[in-house]
């Protein structure tokens, strides 16, 4: 095989590998439309059916909530920063969320992402980012 061709081939393969590695979680999850589907499933099939946490959403405009959550999760996964809602502390003020509530929501997010084929490795990375917000959400 021609040495120049082999070098070019290796360079293309290397660039392809770099592009895959540089892909954000947002892109790996399929982008905005996919995130909206994950969020819809997250609420409709998991959160709102779970008596541990569904009471927190009894008087919530779920259309607005899903829109905010889609933007927030998109940003948290490395997508565009379109989230313009309250800070996490302010958004959860007066709710007195406890660790078990946070853990249930995190588990539901895991399950929603898994339902749509996101890898465990990528889910772990996403949940690590969400876990960084724990102190801003609990006991408010």
List the binding residues for heme: 68, 92
How many whole angstroms from its chain centre is CA 6?
40
What is the spatial distance between Cα 115 and Cα 134, in angstroms, rounded to a whole number? 24
Known binding-site positions: 68, 92
User: In this structure, what is the dihedral angle of CA atoms 34, 36, 41, 47, given to the nearest 10 degrees?
Assistant: 140
Q: Which residue intervals of 2-61 are DSSP H helices?
A: 3-22, 25-28, 32-41
CB atoms within 10 A of CB 115: 14
């Amino acid at each position: 095989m021609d040495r120049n061709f082999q070098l070019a081939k290796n360079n293309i393969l290397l660039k392809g590998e770099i592009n895959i590695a540089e892909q954000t979680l947002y892109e790996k999850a399929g982008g905005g439309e996919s995130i909206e589907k994950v969020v819809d499933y997250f609420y409709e099939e998991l959160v709102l059916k779970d008596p541990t946490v569904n009471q927190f959403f009894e008087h919530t405009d779920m259309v607005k909530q899903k829109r905010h959550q889609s933007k927030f999760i998109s940003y948290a996964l490395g997508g565009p920063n379109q989230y313009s809602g309250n800070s996490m502390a302010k958004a959860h003020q007066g709710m007195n969320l406890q660790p078990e509530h946070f853990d249930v929501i995190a588990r539901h997010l895991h399950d929603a992402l898994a339902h749509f084929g996101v890898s465990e490795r990528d889910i772990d990375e996403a949940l690590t980012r969400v876990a960084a917000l724990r102190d801003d959400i609990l006991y408010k």
